[in-house]
């Protein structure tokens, strides 16, 4: 959104409410088995905001989604900015705090290596039945800075305004909250932009409610879903979805499953829909743009753009624009435009490989690796070129019942020899972060270790 400009007058910034709707009794969160109303939540926001130091930025490291939500809103209401590092690792936090010297850190639990200026707020769990009012924020206020995951290099900062967040959340709500208000269980952290959009902003700006946990193991996901009433919306990743199907816990009735953060195989999507008797929606976006498109991967290959989103293919990627963007954004994704606001994703500019005069995409190579029976997880990635300029591929594979030689033998049947990974290392688990992403530095460290 843009500021309203009157003829002959200075620009005036519109203020947008922190919460959607007017009902103070609406359930916003499910926390520790209790229903947290809008009025209770806002009382907690006021209580935490009063504890914040005078500063420009807060590195929000809260793990519990309820406490993250309270802290996120308290920081924003205080006129400060939430800094959202791609990981809670001490090095990642230190890098962000060095880049933003006027910052402190917020955490809801003890840290192994506490950063300087660490605040652990008191969350009073108020029952607030007094006066009720919803604060409003200037649409141009930068309420968050999200950092990319580092899967293609060093994390990059992306500033997010409250107006931009509200506009993009309205598009998500149109897709996911068209019927009865859903109760959301999310396996992704709120610091990741996908988690921010669907587990923080969606409850704030629609009638959806969110479970405060961040379940990781299949049994924990099933337990969290049982703690909220229908209609239930599971917000997750392909990694968690594979684990659910592999371990097979019973899940309560689901209105839908939403998936993102990594390419989703059509067969995996079909298996999930069959197993849980629901629809699976895949969303497409980035830290830079937020969600811009969606599809039903079990039934279609093409993505459907949200209203108002425009794509323009470029030699080095795709330019994305929307009315709520401050400027067009260049993504590395290569797309083929189709009629009716649809497109096919052809890969990423950084994924395209040329070795010995032959071309391939890392996305396709990884699909072939994961298709090998017995491979539970795996990734192929490019190593830095050697002194002669020759590039090589490496692979990390989770396959407890297979030898490395057996995996390579299967790959020889599927790949041109120049794309065989050398080395290929069998590992107990891939170094995925909390959002299921694979930072490049972590891959190289695991390969060396």
Does pLDDT of 435 surpass 90? no
Query: In the structure encoding, which two tokens stand for residue 116, read together?
Result: 């300087």
CA 142/CA 137 separation, integer angstroms: 10
CA 126/CA 40 separation, integer angstroms: 6
Q: Which of 71, 131, 148, 143 is nearest to 105 (CA)?
A: 71
Query: In the structure encoding, which two tokens stand for residue 287, read together?
Result: 């830290």
Q: What is the pLDDT of residue 332?
A: 87
Q: Which of 296, 260, 303 is nearest to 278 (CA)?
A: 296
pTM of the model: 0.83
Bridge partners, residue 258, by sequence:
235, 281
| Domains defined along the chain, listed by start | 15-300 (3.40.50.12780), 356-448 (3.30.300.30)
Q: What is the pLDDT of residue 389?
A: 59
CA 204/CA 28 separation, integer angstroms: 7
Does pLDDT of 243 surpass 70? yes
Q: What is the pLDDT of residue 386?
A: 66
Summarised one tens digit per residue, pLDDT across range 135-152 is 999 999 999 999 886 555
How sure is the predictor about 390, in pLDDT bands with cuts at 50, 70 and 90?
A: low
């Amino acid at each position: 959104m843009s500021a309203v400009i009157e003829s002959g007058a200075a620009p005036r910034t519109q203020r947008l409410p922190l919460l959607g709707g007017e009902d103070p009794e609406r359930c916003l969160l499910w926390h520790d088995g209790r229903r947290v109303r809008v009025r209770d939540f806002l009382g907690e926001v006021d209580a935490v905001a009063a504890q914040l130091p005078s500063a420009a930025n807060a590195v929000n490291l809260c793990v519990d989604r309820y406490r993250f939500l309270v802290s996120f809103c308290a920081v924003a209401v205080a006129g400060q900015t939430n800094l959202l590092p791609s990981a809670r690792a001490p090095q990642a936090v230190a890098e962000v705090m060095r880049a933003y010297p006027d910052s402190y850190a917020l955490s809801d639990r003890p840290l192994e290596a506490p950063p300087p200026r660490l605040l652990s707020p008191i969350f009073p769990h108020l029952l607030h039945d007094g006066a009720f009012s919803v604060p409003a924020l200037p649409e141009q206020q930068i309420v968050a800075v999200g950092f990319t995951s580092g899967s293609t290099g060093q994390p990059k900062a992306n500033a997010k305004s409250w107006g931009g967040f509200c506009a993009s959340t309205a598009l998500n709500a149109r897709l996911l909250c068209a019927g009865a208000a859903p109760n959301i269980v999310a396996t992704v952290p709120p610091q990741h932009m996908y988690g921010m959009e669907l587990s923080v902003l969606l409850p704030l700006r629609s009638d959806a409610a969110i479970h405060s946990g961040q379940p990781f193991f299949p049994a924990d996901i099933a337990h969290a879903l049982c703690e909220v009433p229908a209609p239930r919306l599971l917000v997750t990743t392909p990694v968690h979805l594979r684990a659910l199907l592999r371990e097979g816990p019973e899940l309560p009735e689901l209105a839908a499953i939403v998936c993102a953060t990594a390419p989703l195989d059509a067969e995996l999507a079909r298996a999930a829909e069959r197993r849980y008797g629901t629809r699976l929606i895949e969303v497409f976006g980035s830290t830079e743009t937020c969600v811009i498109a969606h599809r039903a991967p079990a039934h279609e290959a093409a993505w459907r753009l949200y209203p108002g989103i425009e794509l323009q293919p470029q030699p080095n990627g795709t330019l994305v624009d929307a009315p709520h963007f401050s400027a067009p954004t260049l993504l590395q994704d290569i797309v083929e435009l189709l009629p009716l606001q649809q497109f096919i994703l052809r890969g990423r500019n950084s994924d395209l490989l040329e070795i010995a005069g032959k071309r391939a995409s890392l996305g396709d190579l990884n699909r072939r690796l994961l298709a090998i029976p017995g491979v539970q997880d795996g990734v192929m990635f490019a190593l830095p070129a050697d002194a002669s300029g020759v590039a090589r591929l490496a692979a990390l594979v989770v396959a407890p019942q297979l030898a490395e030689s057996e995996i390579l033998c299967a790959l020889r049947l599927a790949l041109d020899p120049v794309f065989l990974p050398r080395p290929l290392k069998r590992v107990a688990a891939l170094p995925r972060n909390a959002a299921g992403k694979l930072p490049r530095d972590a891959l190289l460290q695991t390969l060396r270790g």
